């Protein structure tokens, strides 16, 4: 058995396609910190010290190998001027879109990160977590891709209509969004993020056909990732990755998050030596797992993708639902420590 | 990572196990050996290429304008079924399913306008997105149902469980399709379903959305009668239930 490693050492080792002491576990808990602190979700997200404190407590409690310096996906839509709708038991929704007619694309201004309190809050969270980590725990954050952000900026239907219309407004929107995404991701790295997820559900062939993606979102991803100063992982947020691995490997990303519907072993084989695979526990189903089921699911994932490193165990969506009880999170952590020790056999 | 996620988007991922109780696929059906007429083949190609002009031309050349229902039955619905099958097998993306539904909806609206008696002679059908604000799934299902000749009442999105139940009871909706994107919204269907069933036990509740595709037991947990994990499945379920429920 390998010598004990810190979460940072463990993560870096696996990303070098070598076997660390055990499989790293990223429990991406965005809302459970509110429970820890006895706060509502809205109140929890209102102050950076709350989220940072929540992350520190959760990491200690469940033995995750990262801090998650992320609040909610609608944050970036909020920065562009969209409404955000908070609920009591789940992530905030993006509300009324800022682009109501395609022509609004000409008018919208790229937000200045320093002038957006919501973005500054997240940067403050990342700074606090970086300080708490002291180089021993990776601080993960996320930026929504310029290609997927319009779903929140203008609604999914309006965006698909725009893509298929062939209007030059699509290119104008990508240009503005790329400018913002590069600035935002770099700001996260400046604040102390170790890695940033490039959150691009529309990159999945479940959502956009591969040919269209190659002419649009793939070009965007290449342009953005090449201009960001730190490692980015392509996150398809439950969308299948396997049919798109060839395209994803061209983007310059260092990791890819895999769907519960993907064949994890096949994805690992396609990625090995090039991209670290992250996945693929089913977060929705997780809320009713027993200890035995949690252990079986963890064991199955590690068996499929753990050999040789290049694998981080996490959920398939990038956010574990608020309804998942602590007992399941404990069981997952316990199972990783039982079945994830290298060598696996 | 919340919101747009899936709409993730896996709204329409088929789960055969969960469909055993009410599968709309007939016994002995062999989807892979389905016969496709030349017109149908061309229509499917036009739809997957998102070629409105070609699709419209095929319909004009293939269908008798005096028999819109026959055109639905022989060309448009089978083409959408084929699109649904291609999506389920991973050969098409959600964006192509959406655009196919839009194109067919527009074609059918010209042949069989809303309120046409041939379209409206069925029990009242409603559709809504509960709690959530992402409407793509609802839009696709509504388009496919309308393309299938059904008149649908759209009750919007972001509607609470209590308001939804009140509306369904007030309007005496007989088949209610409820879409949810996020798990909390899906769980809130339980409250709505209980209220509806208490007042109108015969109302059929069909659910769909990402949480249901990721948890094959969830539709039973929330008290639904069925789940449609694709727009085509929803159409098949509506066709089945319209023959069973009383107007």
**Per-residue pLDDT reduced to its tens digit, A13-68:** 999 999 999 999 999 999 999 999 999 999 999 999 999 999 999 999 999 999 99
> Distance (Å, rounded) from C-alpha A24 to C-alpha A305?
12
Report the mean per-residue pLDDT for chain A. Answer: 97
CA distance A73 to chain B (A): 6
The yes-or-no verdict on residue A100 having pLDDT over 50 is: yes
Nearest to A284 by CA among B18, B182, B9: B182
CA distance A89 to chain B (A): 6
- The reported pTM is 0.90
Q: What is the pLDDT of residues A239-252, one digit of tens each?
A: 999 999 999 999 99
Asked if A284 lies within 8 A of B183 by C-beta distance, the reply is yes
CA distance B98 to chain A (A): 8
Nearest to A323 by CA among B78, B187, B88: B187
C-alpha of A68 from chain center? 9
| Residue B32 banded pLDDT, cuts 50, 70, 90 | very low
A149 versus B181: the higher-pLDDT residue is A149
- Count Cβ atoms within 10 A of the Cβ of residue B158 and give its class: 0-12 exposed, 13-18 middle, 19 or more buried: middle
The yes-or-no verdict on residue B6 having pLDDT over 90 is: no
Q: How many CB atoms lie within 10 A of CB A116?
A: 19
Which regions of chain A does DSSP assign to beta strands (E)?
Answer: 25-26, 67-68, 84-85, 93-94, 139-144, 195-199, 232-235, 255-257, 276-281, 311-315
Instruction: Name the percent of chain B lying above pLDDT 90.
Output: 54
Q: For residue B182, which residues of chain A lie inside 8 Å, CB to CB? A: 90-91, 93
What ipTM is given for this predicted complex?
0.91
Q: Which residues have a Cβ under 8 Å from the Cβ of A126 and sit 6 or more positions away?
A: A69, A139, A141, A188, A191, A192, A193
The yes-or-no verdict on residue B36 having pLDDT over 80 is: no
pLDDT at B67: 79
> Distance (Å, rounded) from C-alpha A319 to C-alpha A277?
17
pLDDT at B37: 62
The yes-or-no verdict on residue A272 having pLDDT over 50 is: yes
> Distance (Å, rounded) from C-alpha B29 to C-alpha B26?
5
> Distance (Å, rounded) from C-alpha A150 to C-alpha A97?
9
A98: left (phi over 0), alpha (psi -120 to 50) or beta: alpha
Q: Which residue blocks in chain B are alpha helix, DSSP H? A: 5-10, 38-48, 52-62, 68-71, 77-88, 94-111, 117-120, 136-147, 161-170, 183-199, 210-214, 218-221, 231-242
The yes-or-no verdict on residue A253 having pLDDT over 50 is: yes
The yes-or-no verdict on residue A205 having pLDDT over 60 is: yes
A142 versus B144: the higher-pLDDT residue is A142
pLDDT at B11: 32
Nearest to A189 by CA among A146, A143, A237: A143
Q: Which residue blocks in B36-76 are alpha helix, DSSP H? A: 38-48, 52-62, 68-71
| Residue B241 banded pLDDT, cuts 50, 70, 90 | very high
Instruction: Name the percent of chain B lying above pLDDT 70.
Output: 83
Q: What is the pLDDT of residues B181-228, one digit of tens each?
A: 899 999 999 999 999 999 999 999 999 999 999 999 999 999 999 999
Closest chain A CA to residue B158:
A95
């Amino acid at each position: 058995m390998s010598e004990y490693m810190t979460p940072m050492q463990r993560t870096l080792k696996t990303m070098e396609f070598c076997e660390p002491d055990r499989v790293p576990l990223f429990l991406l808990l965005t809302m459970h910190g509110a429970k820890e602190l006895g706060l509502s979700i809205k109140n929890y997200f209102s102050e950076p010290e709350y989220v940072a404190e929540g992350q520190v407590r959760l990491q200690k409690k469940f033995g995750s190998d990262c801090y998650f310096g992320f609040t909610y996906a609608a944050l970036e839509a909020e920065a562009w001027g969209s409404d955000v709708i908070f609920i009591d038991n789940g992530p905030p929704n993006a509300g009324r879109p800022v682009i109501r007619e395609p022509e609004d694309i000409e008018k919208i201004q790229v937000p200045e990160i320093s002038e957006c309190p919501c973005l500054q809050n997240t940067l403050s969270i990342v700074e606090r977590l970086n300080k708490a980590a002291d180089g021993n725990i990776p601080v993960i954050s996320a930026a929504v891709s310029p290609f997927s952000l319009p779903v929140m900026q203008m609604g999914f239907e309006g965006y698909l209509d725009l893509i298929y219309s062939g209007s030059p407004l699509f290119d104008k929107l990508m240009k503005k969004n790329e400018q913002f995404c590069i600035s935002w991701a770099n700001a996260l790295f400046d604040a102390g993020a170790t890695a940033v997820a490039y959150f691009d559900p529309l990159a999945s062939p479940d959502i956009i056909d591969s040919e269209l993606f190659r002419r649009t979102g793939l070009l965007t991803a290449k342009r953005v990732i090449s201009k960001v100063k730190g490692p980015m992982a392509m996150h398809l947020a439950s969308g299948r990755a396997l049919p798109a691995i060839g395209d994803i490997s061209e983007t310059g990303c260092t990791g890819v998050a895999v769907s519960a519907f993907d064949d994890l072993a096949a994805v690992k084989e396609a990625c090995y030596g090039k991209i670290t695979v992250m996945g693929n526990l089913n977060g929705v189903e997780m809320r009713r797992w027993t200890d035995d089921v949690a252990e079986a699911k963890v064991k199955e994932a590690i068996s499929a993708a753990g050999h040789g490193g290049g694998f981080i165990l996490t959920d398939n969506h990038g956010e574990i639902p608020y309804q998942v009880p602590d007992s399941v999170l404990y069981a997952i952590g316990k199972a990783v420590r039982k079945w994830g020790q290298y060598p696996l056999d | 990572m919340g919101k747009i996620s899936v709409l993730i988007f896996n709204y329409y991922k088929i789960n055969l196990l969960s469909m055993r109780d009410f599968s709309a696929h007939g016994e002995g059906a062999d989807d892979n050996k389905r016969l496709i007429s030349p017109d149908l083949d061309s229509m499917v190609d036009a739809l997957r290429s998102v070629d409105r002009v070609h699709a419209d031309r095929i319909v004009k050349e293939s269908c008798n304008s005096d028999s819109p229902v026959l055109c639905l039955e022989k060309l448009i619905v089978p083409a959408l079924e084929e699109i649904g099958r291609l999506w389920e097998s991973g050969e098409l993306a959600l964006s192509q399913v959406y655009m196919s539904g839009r194109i067919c909806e527009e074609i059918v609206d010209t042949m069989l306008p809303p309120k046409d008696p041939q379209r409206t002679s069925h029990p009242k059908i409603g559709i809504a997105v509960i709690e959530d604000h992402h409407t793509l799934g609802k839009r696709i299902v509504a388009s496919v149902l309308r393309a299938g000749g059904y008149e649908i009442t759209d009750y919007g999105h972001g509607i609470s469980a209590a308001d939804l139940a009140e509306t369904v009871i007030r309007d005496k909706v007989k088949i209610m399709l409820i879409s949810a994107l996020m798990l909390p919204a899906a769980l809130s269907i339980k409250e709505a379903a209980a209220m509806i069933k208490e007042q109108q036990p015969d109302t059929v509740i069909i659910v769909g959305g990402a949480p249901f595709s990721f948890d094959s037991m969830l539709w039973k947990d929330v008290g639904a009668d069925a789940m449609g994990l694709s727009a085509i499945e929803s159409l098949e379920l509506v066709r089945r239930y319209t023959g069973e429920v009383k107007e």
